[in-house]
Amino acid sequence: MIHKDKTEWRTVTLIAACYLLWLTLVVGLSHISLIATALLVIPVITLHSSLQHECLHRHPFRFSQLNDAIVLAPIGLFIPYLRFKAVHLEHHLNARICDPYDDPESWYVAQEFWARLPRWLKLVFEANNTLLGRLLLGPSIALVRLVISDVQAKAGGDRSILRAWVLHLFVLVPVLTVVIAWSAIPLPIYLLCSYAGLSLLMVRTYLEHQAEESLRGRSVIIEDRGPFSLLFLNNNLHAVHHAYPAVAWHQLPSLYQRNRQRFLDMNKGYFFKNYAEIFRRFAFHRKEPVVHPFTRGNRW
């Protein structure tokens, strides 16, 4: 049985440390070394994204509004937190995982949609299915897709989307004020750092899911316990997270170890030992075709 940590001090402490480290780098170190600041602020932005993921799953507090508030500041600039929250919770409807229409986080496309794409765009999607391509192209593709889908949904009358973007622009102001007025980082450099922070996050999302007829076989287990595991808050144990989405990040490793064989059997052996293996195998090679193997149609 999983017992919820009533205080969840680990998550609260990590959120506070993330913001403090960001301020130290941007306001302090940037006046000493621009290169060191840029290199260090990238993983901090990635960690903040991982903490946003933790908070949207109702950690560390009982009240969702409080969880949302403490990670709302968009130090990564590009993605509105409330849109990320809505899209990700929709993704957690397990029957939809990987579906190019119903899963908003799917990287697959349907066969008919693929057939209509121009050659240059097919090459972009194919490059995006290598790990190096995902790092370079993935954030741009994800952001463009989000904007297109949000514009379409807003045209259909969904007012919550406009509210999320307006709030994002509102809370973006103090973040940009700190960067522009108090730091020595030129804004174009910080924009590149923010993009790189999303790219680093793509290391985690690259292999999270696969097209598999069995629902249980769609989420990966990566047994890495190194820096990536901390940066991604143990979400490399992704099948465990999808089976128990309410479990806090610091409980996932022990839950997995106690039930390791059950999880490996459950997810049909979709397993990697560490991220070094993933880089070695997929840096320049596609992990799989872009087209979803089971879904047809042209709704994407």
**Which residues neighbour 227 within 8 Å (Cβ) at sequence distance 6 or greater?**
none
What pLDDT shows up at residue 70?
A: 97
Across the range 128-151, mean pLDDT stands at 96
Higher pLDDT, 56 or 102: 56
Task: Confirm if 130 and 286 have CB atoms less than 8 A apart.
Answer: yes
- The DSSP line for 160-180 is HHHHHHHHHHHHHHHHHHIII
* Whether the predicted pLDDT of 6 surpasses 90: no
Task: Confirm if 221 and 210 have CB atoms less than 8 A apart.
Answer: no
Across the range 192-220, mean pLDDT stands at 93
Range with lowest mean pLDDT among 118-127, 188-197, 210-219, 252-261? 210-219
Across the range 88-114, mean pLDDT stands at 87
Across the range 112-139, mean pLDDT stands at 96
For residue 153, name the pLDDT band (cuts at 50, 70, 90): confident
Separation in Å, CA 197 to CA 79, 237, 256: 12, 21, 28
Task: Confirm if 78 and 262 have CB atoms less than 8 A apart.
Answer: no
What pLDDT shows up at residue 93?
A: 79
What pLDDT shows up at residue 101?
A: 83
Task: Confirm if 211 and 98 have CB atoms less than 8 A apart.
Answer: yes
Task: Confirm if 53 and 235 have CB atoms less than 8 A apart.
Answer: yes
Nearest-angstrom CA–CA distance, 73 and 113:
36
Task: Confirm if 55 and 208 have CB atoms less than 8 A apart.
Answer: no
Share of the chain above pLDDT 70, in %: 95
Nearest-angstrom CA–CA distance, 256 and 195:
32
For residue 186, name the pLDDT band (cuts at 50, 70, 90): very high
For the stretch 167-176, pLDDT in tens is 999 999 999 9
Nearest-angstrom CA–CA distance, 67 and 53:
10
What pLDDT shows up at residue 95?
A: 67
Task: Confirm if 209 and 97 have CB atoms less than 8 A apart.
Answer: yes
Nearest-angstrom CA–CA distance, 208 and 95:
15
For residue 215, name the pLDDT band (cuts at 50, 70, 90): confident
* Whether the predicted pLDDT of 39 surpasses 70: yes
**Which residues neighbour 200 within 8 Å (Cβ) at sequence distance 6 or greater?**
42, 43, 45, 46, 135, 231
Q: Which phi and psi (to 5°) does residue 267 adopt?
A: -95, 20
Nearest-angstrom CA–CA distance, 146 and 165:
11
**Which residues neighbour 141 within 8 Å (Cβ) at sequence distance 6 or greater?**
124, 128
| Average pLDDT of the residues of the chain | 92
SS3 41: helix
What pLDDT shows up at residue 228?
A: 96
Nearest-angstrom CA–CA distance, 208 and 239:
8
Of 134, 140, 280, the residue nearest 208 (C-alpha) = 134
For residue 182, name the pLDDT band (cuts at 50, 70, 90): very high
Across the range 260-277, mean pLDDT stands at 93
**Which residues neighbour 138 within 8 Å (Cβ) at sequence distance 6 or greater?**
128, 198, 199, 202, 205, 206
What pLDDT shows up at residue 298?
A: 44
Task: Confirm if 102 and 297 have CB atoms less than 8 A apart.
Answer: no
The whole model's pTM is what? 0.93
What pLDDT shows up at residue 3?
A: 45
Across the range 7-20, mean pLDDT stands at 92
Nearest-angstrom CA–CA distance, 28 and 37:
9
What pLDDT shows up at residue 217?
A: 86
Across the range 247-267, mean pLDDT stands at 95
